[in-house]
Amino acid sequence: MFKRAFTLIELLVVIAIIAILAAILFPVFAQAKQAAKKTSALSNIKQTATSIIMYTADYDDLFPMAFSSIAGTPFGLRTGSGGVAYGAAVPAGWPNPASGYTKVQDEVQWANSTEPYRKNAGILEMTGMKVENAPASLTSGALLTSRYRSSYGMNGLLHTISTTEVGSPSRVPMLWPVHGAIIHDGMNYAAPYLNCPNTNAGCRFNSGGSPNGQAGSGWGAELPWYTNFGGDYTYWAYNQAIPIVNTDTSAKTRKVGGPPFQWTQSLWTEPFQMWDSQGIEWGYYGCAATSSTIWYYPCYFRPDRDAFGQG
């Protein structure tokens, strides 16, 4: 009985066909995987926003505190200095208190105060991003072994204001990945952060002036460049886009950044005014109300953008 085997040429043809099919299918699989991550991230930020709205319903329609407090002061916020906004430990109380992060300070910060409405710490993460490890100085001697991970931060201009003060709920951002395509282990942040150096005076967004009762003029709020433990990360998470949810809980994955080192065309459609070739931010636009005292807030995040014709 005669039995015919594959020739070398036939075997090479089969291998070539398999290679061609793989080259066609692998990008399709990669795109499907990326789409699944993007959908998951959008769902996470939407659910997180819903937890905040549930919180406002129980607290006289007031947004939660975007920042940690300073123990022993009536109004002091843990926002740091030099353009770097400090974050909060999540959950509150996990680090050793000697590190400077204490439960009483951090439990008022939004990621902790809205936890009873969220029930699932995992939805604070932007799916598929790399993790920025918690600093060793905090993990050493930690009171709790478990830590939450988070990517999404609150728009700091919403700090303790009423939902009725938001002029365009479908356009004003509530949550966004404040430090770009990263997951923070054990920490959460808010941005923009309010400039409130006086710890004995109220601190909140003021459409016509300073947030802290300061005289003169200046920046009432700013966007941070780094986390308080380093790291300046790209914002290009999903094909140059990031998930953002507005104060009406409408969520969308929005493209950010344009040609490298070119000014963006609108003050109101981008969080930053310029980007480099890697999707890292380079500055931001500030807008001020028309008044005798000029105080600037990052335009894209202003709750009163309707007053600028951006309703």
33-36 long-range contacts, CB within 8 A, separation 24+: 34/128, 34/238, 34/239
Positive or negative CA dihedral for 233, 235, 239, 242?
positive
Secondary structure (3-state) at 260? coil
Beta strand extents in 98-240 (DSSP E only)? 131-132, 149-150, 153-154, 173-176, 183-185, 187-188, 193-194, 218-219, 221-222
Indicate the pLDDT class of residue 82, thresholds 50, 70 and 90: very low
Question: Does 204 have pLDDT greater than 80?
Answer: yes
Element (H, E) at 28: helix 8-58
Question: Does 72 have pLDDT greater than 90?
Answer: no
Q: Yes or no: say if 149 and 184 are a contact pair by the CB < 8 Å rule.
A: yes
Q: What is the mean pLDDT of residues 3-25?
A: 76
Average pLDDT value for the chain: 86
Q: What is the mean pLDDT of residues 96-122?
A: 89
Q: What is the mean pLDDT of residues 252-276?
A: 87
Per-residue model confidence (pLDDT) at position 300: 95
Tens of pLDDT, residues 289-310: 876 668 999 999 999 999 888 8
Indicate the pLDDT class of residue 124, thresholds 50, 70 and 90: very high
Between these two residues, 308 and 158, which has the higher pLDDT value? 158
Question: Does 2 have pLDDT greater than 90?
Answer: no
